[in-house]
Amino acid sequence: MTRYIAMVALIVAGLVMIAATPATENDFALVGATVIDGTGAKPIKNGVILIRDGRIAAVGASGSVVVPAGIRTVDSAGKYVIPGLMDANVHLFLDAEPENVLKYEGHYEDLIIEAAQIALKNGVTTVFDTWGPRAALVNARNQINSGAAVGSRIYLAGNIIGFTGPLSSDFFPDAQKVFSENVVNRIDKYWEQGVGGELLWMTPDEVRAKVRAYIENGNLDFIKYGSSGHVNEQFIAFSLETQRAIVEEAHRAGITAQAHSTSVESLKMEIEAGVDIMQHCDVTGPEPIPAATLKVIIDRKLPCSAMVVTNKQLDWTKSHNFRPGYSDESKTRDLNDRNLIKMGATLLLTTDAGLFGPDSASSPLLGPYLKDVPDLPTRLQDADYLWLQAVSERGLSPMDALQAATRNIAVAYGKAKEIGTLEPGKRADLVVLNADPLEDPRNYRNIQLVVKDGIAIDRDKLPIKRYLSE
């Protein structure tokens, strides 16, 4: 009982302290906007969001939130406030062609920060990087988190466990005919980090040890492994027993695990292995997700990162079979998307997006994927807007779409205590829009202001340095 009283006294003292905390110049309140808080609740008309010390101190209808004296107010009447957008799957250094990996060797983090700034400029306050050069990603993430650099908040996985690097047979087999073995090995190592293709030969226990070491030394936020092969997408990469060992190691370390899968069986295996997120779950080659697997995804509310594309993109894929099977696979993916949406799957906005340099459209490696492609879904500058447009065209409700781009991602990655919704205590990551995004998904592009960690972002200045973007 005494302890109880002491506790209450402490809480009361704490409240008094918050109320009495003097306003700093960074504290402010957005007043008068329609607030769509991301919890799924009805929008709050004439709302107030009080931001103090980088976090949301209060949110509610005008009259229910008291703005303390001395705090700057920003008139936001006629605007719409949403949580900062997120992307569950980007590659901040995606254009990892031989030219770029050699030209920028030693400062990949600069390219990563450039990409993180372009994401932030477009209202994406948090990104999850699911494949890239680990050390450079860690460096970029830490620079942004410490305030030394501006950019979207990065969570990273480093390598896709079991994949080899950008100059390897998994990505660019011809590189080995042009570059010396030393160069290929040196570059690939930035990505592989001790968990490359050699793991596919190993026993579950050996893989477990490698993954454990990778997590312990890697400064990672989550892990991703290959359930499918990368070049031969119909091939299974790791056995079920090994997949279970990988997932267990992630959970043992308190982080989430996800898998890259491209077939119905590898999708089923990762689910059985217990992954937290199915990355591009809708990509299953020419074979649609079977009813039994769909049922498990729905019943267990498994977070499904789906690569939904716009009608315009989809139409183009019908007539541009630029590699064998592409048109059929695209048709199947759309069928999967429609089934997942119809059945009410827990969707995450996911794009695989990154920056492409000025030479990439004419490059033999990436050119065919990029040249004259309408509504290119992997272009970081507008990937998230296109995704939101695409799910709207597939019949996902506007509120579900917003949650797929915010709250669902935070929950799936175990970050919902910090980000994902506009609720007291969370980081003040938000976007102020000039028009209602629930009315028309194109309004996500109509940004007035982006705030991250309570700081208004000077969007016109981003990216501060251009390497790949134009």
Residue count, binding to Zn ion (CB under 5 A): 2
In the complex, least distance from residue 384 CB atom to Zn ion, rounded to whole angstroms? 17
Residue 258: which H helix or E strand, with range? strand 256-260
In the complex, least distance from residue 283 CB atom to Zn ion, rounded to whole angstroms? 8
User: Residue 279 or 284: which CB sits closer to Zn ion?
Assistant: 279
Binding window for Zn ion (CB under 5 A); candidates: 143-151, 213-221, 258-266, 418-426: 258-266
Q: What is the layout of strands, in order, in the sheet containing 347-349? A: 160-161, 222-226, 256-260, 277-279, 304-306, 347-349
Q: Which residue of this chain has its Cβ atom nearest to Zn ion in the complex?
A: 260
Binding window for Zn ion (CB under 5 A); candidates: 259-267, 270-278, 395-403, 413-421: 259-267
In the complex, least distance from residue 97 CB atom to Zn ion, rounded to whole angstroms? 18
User: Residue 242 or 279: which CB sits closer to Zn ion?
Assistant: 279
User: Residue 34 or 279: which CB sits closer to Zn ion?
Assistant: 279
Residues 271-300: x/- map of binding to Zn ion (CB under 5 A)?
Answer: --------x---------------------
User: Residue 143 or 336: which CB sits closer to Zn ion?
Assistant: 336
User: Residue 39 or 234: which CB sits closer to Zn ion?
Assistant: 234
230 in contact with Zn ion (CB under 5 A): no
In the complex, least distance from residue 241 CB atom to Zn ion, rounded to whole angstroms? 22
In the complex, least distance from residue 261 CB atom to Zn ion, rounded to whole angstroms? 8
In the complex, least distance from residue 400 CB atom to Zn ion, rounded to whole angstroms? 24
CA distance 89 to 127: 7
Residue 125: which H helix or E strand, with range? strand 124-129
CA distance 274 to 246: 10
User: Residue 279 or 389: which CB sits closer to Zn ion?
Assistant: 279
Binding window for Zn ion (CB under 5 A); candidates: 25-33, 80-88, 260-268, 412-420: 260-268
In the complex, least distance from residue 459 CB atom to Zn ion, rounded to whole angstroms? 30
Residues 435-454: x/- map of binding to Zn ion (CB under 5 A)?
Answer: --------------------
Dihedrals phi, psi of 425, to nearest 5 degrees: 95, -20
- Positive or negative torsion for Cα 14, 19, 21, 24: positive
Secondary structure (3-state) at 35: strand
Binding window for Zn ion (CB under 5 A); candidates: 56-64, 257-265, 287-295, 442-450: 257-265
260 in contact with Zn ion (CB under 5 A): yes
> Is residue 45 within 8 Å of 61, Cβ to Cβ?
yes
Crossing angle for the helix pair 134-146 and 181-192, nearest 10 degrees? 40
In the complex, least distance from residue 282 CB atom to Zn ion, rounded to whole angstroms? 12
In the complex, least distance from residue 284 CB atom to Zn ion, rounded to whole angstroms? 13
Please report, as a single letter, which amino acid is at residue 373. Answer: V
Crossing angle for the helix pair 326-343 and 291-299, nearest 10 degrees? 40
Q: What are the beta bridge partners of residue 220? A: none
Give the Å distances, CA to CA, from 145 to 99, 139, 158, 460: 30, 10, 17, 21
User: Residue 265 or 359: which CB sits closer to Zn ion?
Assistant: 265
Q: What are the beta bridge partners of residue 450? A: 431
User: Residue 188 or 453: which CB sits closer to Zn ion?
Assistant: 188
User: Residue 190 or 225: which CB sits closer to Zn ion?
Assistant: 225
Give the DSSP letter string of 51-85.
Answer: EETTEEEEEEEBTTB---TT-EEEE-TT-EEEEPE
136: number of Cβ within 10 Å: 24
CA distance 467 to 109: 11
User: Residue 247 or 432: which CB sits closer to Zn ion?
Assistant: 247
In the complex, least distance from residue 279 CB atom to Zn ion, rounded to whole angstroms? 5
Residues in the site for Zn ion, rule: CB under 5 A? 260, 279
